[in-house]
């Protein structure tokens, strides 16, 4: 099954590292125009831009905090100005700190809420208004986590709480905007080979492999492939769902 997103314009938040980078590359390879948002990591942004350009793509990059509502409006306007429209939104911006709840400071809790939840509102609100106003039957994909769907041992409380909120956001927003022909779904990865997972103690990685039916940690590309499918015309009837990509965890 070959997915071709030619003529589609995609906005990806947090699109320069880990799963986000794999998603950016996958959408470009599917012939979508892409705008990639990042917050602060200039090195990762430069590497991602160079990677896509090495394959003949011309990504647009824009730096800014996705959790800031004023920037969310600026980001939407930038995409519309440069691409003419927004067909697909990938809400991938997020953070995770491996801090036990009893050691969690208020600032760290607030930051998790800000980045993992508030960014959903800040970016989705103006993009969705654009889709509705222009009668675009768009696709919105939100990155949650398996720990936001079912209990997973040794996962930070603040991370699990915010990822569970994304599931609720996805389901209820899909109910609200389905009448406009807009589909909203979420993807919930398990442990994926990213900077976060590579920095986990080997014992934690070993535990995951032990309890994962497929016996291994996932690859960012495996998540990106599902996201591309959900954003494509092959997905014409799924909305409000959260798809787990966890190796069966």
Distance CA 139, CA 155 (A): 30
Question: What 8-state DSSP symbol labels residue 218?
Answer: B
Would 4 be classed as within a structural domain? no
Q: Which residues are catalytic?
A: 159
Would 1 be classed as within a structural domain? no
Number of structural domains (the chain) is 1
Give me the domain span that covers residue 91.
9-245
pLDDT digits (tens, 9 = 90+) for 38-54: 999 999 999 999 999 99
Residue 59, both tokens: 């990504």
From residue 217, alpha-carbon distances to 98, 149, 163, 208, 223 in Å are: 18, 18, 19, 8, 12
Would 33 be classed as within a structural domain? yes
228 Cβ contact partners less than 8 Å away, ≥ 6 residues apart:
3, 5, 23, 26, 27, 30
Would 192 be classed as within a structural domain? yes
pLDDT digits (tens, 9 = 90+) for 225-239: 999 999 999 999 999
Would 170 be classed as within a structural domain? yes
- Contact assessment for residue 91 and residue 141, using Cβ atoms and an 8 Å cutoff: yes
Would 3 be classed as within a structural domain? no
CATH code of 61's domain:
3.40.50.720
Distance CA 217, CA 165 (A): 24
Would 175 be classed as within a structural domain? yes
For the chain, 249 residues long, give each residue's pLDDT as a single digit of tens: 799 999 999 999 999 999 999 999 999 999 999 999 999 999 999 999 999 999 999 999 999 999 999 999 999 999 999 999 999 999 999 988 788 899 999 999 999 999 999 999 999 999 999 999 999 999 999 999 999 998 776 788 999 999 999 999 999 999 999 999 999 999 999 999 987 777 777 887 888 888 889 999 999 999 999 999 999 999 999 999 999 999 998
CB atoms within 10 A of CB 142: 23
pLDDT digits (tens, 9 = 90+) for 159-181: 999 999 999 999 999 999 999 99
Would 168 be classed as within a structural domain? yes
- Contact assessment for residue 139 and residue 231, using Cβ atoms and an 8 Å cutoff: yes
Torsion of Cα atoms, 215 then 218 then 169 then 174, to 10°: -100
Helix (H), strand (E) at residue 89: strand 88-91
């Amino acid at each position: 099954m070959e997915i071709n997103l030619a003529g589609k314009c995609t906005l990806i938040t947090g699109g320069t590292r880990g799963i986000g980078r794999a998603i950016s590359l996958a959408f470009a390879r599917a012939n979508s125009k892409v705008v990639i948002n990042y917050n602060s990591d200039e090195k990762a942004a430069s590497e991602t831009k160079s990677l896509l350009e090495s394959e003949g793509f011309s990504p647009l990059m824009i730096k800014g905090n996705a959790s800031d509502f004023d920037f969310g409006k600026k980001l939407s306007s930038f995409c519309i100005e440069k691409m003419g429209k927004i067909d697909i939104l990938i809400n991938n911006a997020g953070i995770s700190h491996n801090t036990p709840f009893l050691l969690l400071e208020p600032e760290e809790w607030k930051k998790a809420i800000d980045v993992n939840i508030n960014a959903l509102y800040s970016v989705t609100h103006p993009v969705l208004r654009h889709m509705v106003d222009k009668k675009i039957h768009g696709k919105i994909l939100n990155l949650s986590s398996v720990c936001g769907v079912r209990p997973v041992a040794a996962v930070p409380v603040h991370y699990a709480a915010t990822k569970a909120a994304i599931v609720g956001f996805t389901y209820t927003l899909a109910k609200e905007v389905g009448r406009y022909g807009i589909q909203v779904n979420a993807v919930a990865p398990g442990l994926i080979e990213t900077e976060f997972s590579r920095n986990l103690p080997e014992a934690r990685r070993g535990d995951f492999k032990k309890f994962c039916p497929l016996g291994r940690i996932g690859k960012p590309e495996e998540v990106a492939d599902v996201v591309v499918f959900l954003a494509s015309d092959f997905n014409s009837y799924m909305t409000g769902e959260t798809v787990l990509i966890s190796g069966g965890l």
